[in-house]
Amino acid sequence: MGKPRRTLVSSKRIHSGGTAPRQYLTGIDILHGHVCVPLVFVFKKGFDLELAEQGLAEALKHYPQVSGRYQKDGEGQVFSDGQDHGIDFRVHRCEGPLPYGEHQPLLKDLKHFYKGFMPWQVVGKDMPLLQVDVSQFEDGGIVIAVCIVHSTFDGSSFFGFLMNWSRACRGLPLELPSFDRSVMIKAGQTGLDTTGFDLVRQPSILDGVVTMSRLGWRAATNMHKEIFRIPAPAIQAWKDQAETELPDAKGVNTGKLVTAYVLRALSPLMPPGAPRRVGMALDMRYVRGLTLPRHYFGNGLCYAQAHYTEQDLAQQSLSVLADRCKPPADEVSAETVSKLLTVAEQHRQKKSIWRLIFKPAVDTLAGGIVQNNLSLLPIYDFDLGRGTPDWYETFAMTIRMMALVSTPQKDGGIDLHMAASKAELRALRERLQADGISGKA
């Protein structure tokens, strides 16, 4: 499909109307980086642009931190100034009818619908922490792209904000989070002994350059994106088989089944002898024994790993592999996460947090995959007054990564947003087809 022909018709800076005290970023915020994350929604019926803008302005009144900018203090620590600099809201007109949706993903066209930025353009610059681009087609259909700074939001924070925008458009009361980032900083000031802790590590400068170069090279030459649908009946059949095969297993769920299936399909293409790993994004808000509020606003993500061998993946059943698709208990304990917060806080104070890297992200470069389970987020509940989205999409990652998204119908099926090499995507496609799963949305 050719590049969409867009014309900018309106560009506004929407303000919150309020201010907030200076708020320092946590080590975890900075560790995830000031990267641009675009999240794109397709509304075939469109929505009222004026109402959407008004609802966004209303939501921002309760999120003054989002209207702020990142600055550095005299000691070089990064903070949000809480001032009402505003966020950008742009409207474009597009020629022709809306061509995108559930059965016609945006894929390579996605990049035309938002204005990206680089991490070094955020701190000390007039860079909004949230930007909205609305592209309206001649038939009224809309593609809306919301770009966020990852150090401001994780998935829970972002979709909490999105749902409040939705509530404001529909005249419903807002459900506000806890904006106190100091609880995360204090949780890292424990004095815990972190000797031997290696879920984040500080590579040497040479190793860091080599790793970043590998990631950049892969992104530029070998990473591609495809979206596969695994329908609800297929997932239910896997669950039924697991219940028959492992009657005492309680944790075999959709996410584990899909992840084990994908890793098993890709394993033969991975380097012989390399350990097979699944890096999992986890939400610290739900770690037992940790005092982080469930409605904490900020970046609360950490990572852990599940481990396999080539032989495991070649010989064991999907049910057994799914049952094993979990990190060791000590990797997700309150003590381990507290050590992560301690390491992050120590490096934040020394302004060396940029030197750290999550171990699972590096370990999966050779023989593994990173899983991001988004299926429990309210992606398809985002209603700006005229119904929920017909489709959701985001950009391809620079690492081998799978994002699990519920189908628009929320019927128990999964749309698997997969970033991998062409050969790996082909292998997964062929595996699905051989198992009688079309794999097409």
State the DSSP string of 58-127: HHHTT-GGGGS-EEE-TTS-EEE------EEEEEEEESSS---BTTB--GGGGGGGS----GGGTTTS--
Name the residue with tokens 């591609």.
Answer: 224
Q: One-letter amino acid identity for 408? A: P
Residue 210 pLDDT:
59
Residue 2 pLDDT:
67
What's the pTM? 0.94
Number of Cβ within 10 Å of residue 228's Cβ equals: 22
Q: Convert the pLDDT of each residue in 73-97 to its tens digit.
A: 999 999 999 999 999 999 999 999 9
Give CA 373 to chain center in angstroms: 9
Helix (H) / strand (E) containing 49: helix 49-60
Token couple for 125: 């610059």
* CB 10 within 8 Å of CB 91: yes
Which of helix, strand or coil describes residue 385? coil
Token couple for 326: 């979990």
Strand 70-72 versus strand 6-14 pairing type: unpaired
Enumerate the β-bridge partners of residue 39.
146, 394
Cα gap 48→176, rounded to integer Å: 24
* CB 168 within 8 Å of CB 62: no
Q: One-letter amino acid identity for 273? A: G
Q: One-letter amino acid identity for 221? A: T
Per-residue burial over 229-241, b = 16 or more CB atoms within 10 Å of its CB, e = otherwise: bbbbebbeebbeb
pLDDT tens, per residue, the chain with 441 residues: 567 889 999 999 999 999 999 999 999 999 999 999 999 999 999 999 999 999 999 999 999 999 999 999 999 999 999 999 999 999 999 999 999 999 999 999 999 999 999 999 999 999 999 999 999 999 999 999 999 999 999 999 999 999 999 999 999 999 999 999 999 999 899 888 888 888 887 766 656 555 555 555 555 557 789 999 999 999 999 999 999 999 887 889 999 999 999 999 999 999 999 999 999 989 999 998 888 899 999 999 998 999 999 999 999 999 999 999 999 988 889 999 999 999 999 999 999 988 888 887 778 888 999 999 999 999 999 999 999 999 999 987 778 899 999 999 999 999 999 999 999 999 999 999 999 997 776
Token couple for 37: 């994350």
